Amino acid sequence: MPSTRDIRRRIKSVKNTAQITKAMQMVAAAKMRKAQQAALVGRPYADLMNAMLAEAGPRIASFEHPLMQNREVKKRAIIVVSSDRGLCGGLNGNLFREIGKLDKGNTTVFITAGRKASQFIARTKRQLAAEFTYKDTPTFGEARAISKFAQDLFLKNEADAVDILYTKFVSTLVQQPKTVPFLPVGKIQAVTAGVNAPEQELKSAGVRTDTFEFESDEETVLGELLPHSLNFQMHQILLEAKASEQSARMVAMKNATDNAKQLIKDLTLEYNKLRQANITKELLEITTAQMAVG
């Protein structure tokens, strides 16, 4: 039977835990909004990129861009986008289960973004090609580094296909691991910005495309545009993964806070019961003592 002091101590420690998880929940909520916001400000950029791709699309088809080369897939690279820290519920666990399904042993290499993914790959002794980090607000530079590395791998024939595995933001409560093809670029698609952005159509700027003049020549300009759009896509994925991570953390922390509150309630009840029992016992002792004396 624990003493009242033990229970008091436990209540205090649970209260501290609840305070911390509550604070983490608030922080995660604010960061989630920020990540979603950051994805949205990319929208004008996506629109403009789409306008340019619309010019480029029909023309690129006329020459074979190295990034569009379809080869027999002997070696596949997978970019895994995870979080840096834990305490975010089943987010990383779900993601890593997908890895198990995708991994084909020797023919699969991994590129990781986020510390948890690189730890997992190292722990399970899979092939790691490179590891990258990204901050709470992923910058374009960080995304470019990852995307550039994947493109190089593809161009050097070290990977015949590159996929991205990340956590898609469905809603604040639901995040899903998802695999999207990255390379080779099959069809030129419109880039989108914003979490859960609707699919977009490629629209040209309303100018007849054949009137465009290119400096230096169209192959170079359009050739450069394609990798750039991939970098942008990578950036959007990082932002979305970040939003998923933060909302998963927010939900996990909310659950933890609720549990702690319930525990405090139960413990307080037990404490009061014990306290009352003690008082009754003491009263009984006093009366019996008095009766014995008198």
Partner 1 sequence: MATIKLEIVTPEAKAYSDDVDVVTLTGIDGEMGIYPQHMPLMTQLVAGEIHARKGAENIFLAVGDGFVQVTGEKISILTDMAVRAENIDEAKAEEARQRAEARLAGKLSDEELASVSASLAHSLVQIKVKRRTTK
Residues in the site for partner 1, rule: CB under 8 A? 38, 41-42, 44-45, 48-49, 51-52, 55, 130, 132, 139-142, 144-146, 148-149, 152, 205, 207, 211-216, 218, 220-221, 224-225, 228, 232, 235
CB of 192 to partner 1, least distance (A): 13
In terms of CB distance, is 126 or 212 closer to partner 1?
Answer: 212
In terms of CB distance, is 72 or 213 closer to partner 1?
Answer: 213
**Residue of 46, 88, 113, 146 marked catalytic:** 88
Q: How far apart are CA 46 and CA 44, in angstroms?
A: 5
CB of 46 to partner 1, least distance (A): 9
Backbone angles phi, psi at 90, to 5 degrees: -85, 10
CB of 224 to partner 1, least distance (A): 6
Cα–Cα nearest to 190, from 74, 46, 87: 46
In terms of CB distance, is 239 or 260 closer to partner 1?
Answer: 239
As given in the structure block, the two tokens for residue 97 are: 């289960």
**268 assigned to active site:** no
69 touches 184 (CB < 8 A): yes
120 touches 224 (CB < 8 A): no
CB of 80 to partner 1, least distance (A): 15
Pairing of strands 161-169, 175-183: antiparallel
Cα–Cα nearest to 138, from 36, 27, 20: 36
How far, CA to CA in Å, does 214 sit from each of 27, 85, 222, 226, 263? 48, 47, 9, 16, 69
In terms of CB distance, is 7 or 121 closer to partner 1?
Answer: 121
As given in the structure block, the two tokens for residue 192 are: 């989108």
271 touches 7 (CB < 8 A): yes
CB of 110 to partner 1, least distance (A): 14
Q: List residues with catalytic annotation.
A: 88
